[in-house]
Structure 1
Amino acid sequence: MADINITHPHKLPHKKAKAAAQKVADQLAKEYDMASEWEGDVLIFRRSGVSGSLTISSQEATIEIQLGFLLKAFAPAIEEKVSAKMKKVFSGKA
């Protein structure tokens, strides 16, 4: 079960939704030193102590993040930051 689960609606065409998801992944990679790769419409990301996925559908984007023991205490702050980034990029204005 995910420690963080955020679903954000969008009205973007599929190609733009994937580009927005990649933007979120790039920002996470920069801030948290994470690697990511696409498996169809699911972006898988991981690093030591963190793993998860960002799934794109026609009307929403869902991110699920599993945190290691040491990062669980920071879950609320991480969730807030990721939610804000998703809202920004999936609004189509980023």
Structure 2
Amino acid sequence: MATIEIRRSHAMPVEELRKKVDQISGSLEAKYAVHGRWQGDEMLLEGSGMTRGVKGRIKLEASTVLIELDLPLLLRPMKGQVEESIARKLDKVLAGG
């Protein structure tokens, strides 16, 4: 599997960060049919439809956010595009956008 790993620093309270991660999750769901559900301070991600087989997580840490996604064979050619799109969205929401 092709793995995407994006890590960014932050200086926000966990509750505020959780709201921002919900925005990212909504974007992933709308654009890639990847659904998220909270389990503690981690959002577990799973694809459906054309993105079936995508699995990952968004982990909230004291000073960082970590996004990890495993892409199945069918989606490997899109790895760069998916990674760039998610990184851009993460940077935007962490900046207050």
TM-score range, shorter-chain basis? Answer: over 0.9
How many equivalent residue pairs? 93
Asked if the contact 1:2–1:64 (Cα under 8 Å) also holds between the matched residues in 2, the reply is no
Q: Which amino acid aligns with 2:72?
A: G
The letter of the residue matching 2:24 is V
TM-score of the aligned structures, taking structure 1 as reference length: 0.93
Identity of aligned residues (%): 26
Consecutive unaligned residues of structure 2, counting only runs of 5 or more, are none
Residue of structure 2 equivalent to 1:72: 76
Q: Following the alignment from structure 1 to structure 2, what is the Cα–Cα distance between the partners of residues 28 and 87?
A: 14
Partner in structure 1 of residue 5 of structure 2 = 5
User: Which residue is 1:26 aligned to?
Assistant: 26
Conserved 8 A contact 1:7-1:62: yes
> Which residue matches 2:14?
14
1:49 CA displacement: 2.7
CA distance in 2, matches of 1:81, 1:35: 16
Give, in angstroms, the shift of residue 13 of structure 1.
1.0
CA contact (8 A) 2:2 2:79 kept: no
For the residue of structure 1 that corresponds to 2:69, the secondary structure is: strand
In structure 1, list runs of 5 or more residues that go unmatched. Answer: none
C-alpha distance in 2, partners of 1:60/1:19?
Answer: 15
Corresponding position of 1:43: 43
TM-score by length of 2: 0.90
Specify which of 50, 54, 60 is matched with residue 56 of structure 1: 60
